[in-house]
Amino acid sequence: MLGMKLTDDACYRVLLSRDPRFDGVFFVGVTTTGIYCRPVCTARTPGRDRCRFFASAPQAEQAGFRPCLRCRPELAPGNSTVDALSRTARLAAARIETGALADGGSVERLARSLGVSSRQLRRAVQQELGVTPIQLAQTRRLLLAKQLLTESRLPIIQVAAASGFASVRRFNALFRTHYGLTPSRMRRGSARAPGDRLRLLLAYRPPLAWRSMLRFLAARATSGVELVADNAYLRTLAIGKHRGWLRVEPVAGKNLLAVELSTSLVGALGGVLARIKDLFDLSARPDVIARALSADRNLAAAVKRTPGLRVPGTVDAVELAVRAILGQQISVAAATTLAGRLAAEFGETIETPYAGLNRLTPTAERLATTSTAAVASLGLRSGVAAAIHALAVAIAEGRIVLEPGADAEQVAEQLVELPGVGAWTAQYIAMRALRWPDALPASDLGLLRAAGVRSPVILTERAEAWRPWRAYAAMHLWESLHELPAKARSSTTKPRPTKRRQLAGSLT
């Protein structure tokens, strides 16, 4: 049985229908072929008695099945590692997805970072995902390698390194053992020089409100760091020692996003792709979310008007948190201007092929070593500058960890203890940086206006019916404000927050 609410018989009914809404929710192994597929695979449907169902790709591979070359399980949205039931297993899976066990990383070090013993970590992951942390990481590396072999022109030696394998010999051996093919046979045609960029595909469950997503990101795009142009999102990015740029746009007629990135980021490719998935909320279940929120007649029209609306995440949690603090008491445009000044003054310079992309976002370490006065000199109020500095110091010292899968309530409590950071900011950070679907910045004036209430208490009470998707409900309410006349939208202002109670305007 699967670690979810679908029985094996229900899974088989889905398999017969090839319903795309279940893509990535489970995988099916066919005992007569030894291959496992996505439920949307176009291959002939096997008989019920030949099917075994798994909640994750690692479980299928651990049971001895190899991935289908036709439906390509590595493209399945969600891939269930981020859907683990246990918080420890979920957070461990998320960190493994971004490469925690690569480049010399160990289970022991990962366990320490999560505040548990290595034995506890192994038990949690085994219980929730059916595999060990090492097996989970190994499957992640192999699936990423398979995608690179299929979609890129990287030489095989670079594919091995980009996938997290320290040894080409080990890579070749595992590939043959798991997939019954050598990497060179997996690749169709000869590999050529990759040039200065790489192009890969990421899948999602339809629908996806791409225009709404771009509009949201464009309004907050930091000058020099981000850019929205020609129906695409572009930005610079730094992960560890790797620096580069990326460009994301939809593939016409398909439920795919095309990701183009500089080859300078190949060494951190797993982390890059994981962050892009978070940014565009690609693991969301829009059908499930819409069905739940539409049960509230006050939200039903908004949900119907913008199907597939996601909660934008971030590729850099520090950037997002600083941006949230900047926007506490001023307009979106003003906060965006200040974010650009911060990047220009404290961000590392970088060369890209795109005009206007020339800065990396300032790191927590850089801001922590910068005086409050230097930050305030860019036009920030002293209290905001102090809050940014306090946040940067807490992150640089490891006292606050902003990562998807972290305990959102605990992190929110830590954030509001910082000077100048209120509940609204903490909830907004939890919503986008921690990927907490139930976050709700209830004191937001835009949400109150869109919901037709005046009190955060009343909104919070009404929002009980939206759990566990309150963050998505907030996005629909904010989106509905675009239906208002411009004059009505501009009347929403941001009063100064008190120490423990904070009101803020919409869409910060």
Inter-axis angle of helices 87-97 and 269-279, nearest 10: 120
pTM: 0.78
How far apart, in Å, are the Cα atoms of 444 and each of 36, 449, 456, 474? Answer: 46, 9, 8, 10
**27-30, strands of its sheet edge to edge:** 51-54, 27-30, 35-37, 66-67
Per-residue pLDDT at 484: 60
Domain ranges of the chain: 8-81, 84-186, 197-285, 317-350+358-490
CB 293 within 8 A of CB 311: no
Catalytic positions, please?
Answer: 37, 444
Phi first, then psi, for residue 396 (nearest 5°) are -60, -35
How far apart, in Å, are the Cα atoms of 274 and each of 79, 91, 94, 233, 290? Answer: 11, 13, 8, 16, 24
CATH of 197-285, one of 3.60.15.10, 3.90.180.10, 3.40.50.300, 3.30.310.20: 3.30.310.20
Looking at domain 317-350+358-490, its CATH architecture is: Orthogonal Bundle (1.10)
Q: Where are the beta strands (DSSP E) in 230-295?
A: 232-239, 242-250, 256-262
CB 188 within 8 A of CB 199: no
Per-residue pLDDT at 1: 34
Helix (H, G, I), strand (E, B) or coil at 504: strand
3-class SS letters over 7-68: CHHHHHHHHHHCCHHHECCEEEEECCCCEEECCCCCCCCCCHHHEEEECCHHHHHHCCCEEC
Q: Name the CATH superfamily housing domain 84-186.
A: Homeodomain-like (1.10.10.60)
CB 205 within 8 A of CB 24: yes
Distance, CA of 309 to CA of 211 (rounded, Å): 10
Distance, CA of 434 to CA of 418 (rounded, Å): 18
| DSSP code per residue over 400-455 | S---TTS-HHHHHHHHHTSTT--HHHHHHHHHHTS--TT---TTBHHHHHHHT-S-
Distance, CA of 60 to CA of 29 (rounded, Å): 7
Q: How big is the chain by its Cα radius of gyration, in Å?
A: 23
Per-residue pLDDT at 162: 86
Distance, CA of 222 to CA of 239 (rounded, Å): 18
Per-residue pLDDT at 279: 97
List average pLDDT for each run of 10 residues in the chain, which is 508 residues long.
59 79 84 94 92 92 93 70 52 79 81 84 83 88 88 87 86 88 74 70 95 96 97 96 96 96 91 94 89 91 96 96 92 94 97 96 97 96 96 95 82 94 94 91 93 93 88 95 60 42 48
CB 67 within 8 A of CB 57: yes
Looking at domain 8-81, its CATH architecture is: 3-Layer(aba) Sandwich (3.40)
Distance, CA of 246 to CA of 260 (rounded, Å): 6
CB 139 within 8 A of CB 61: yes
Distance, CA of 118 to CA of 215 (rounded, Å): 44
Per-residue pLDDT at 234: 98
Helix (H, G, I), strand (E, B) or coil at 179: helix
Per-residue pLDDT at 360: 98
Helix (H, G, I), strand (E, B) or coil at 252: coil
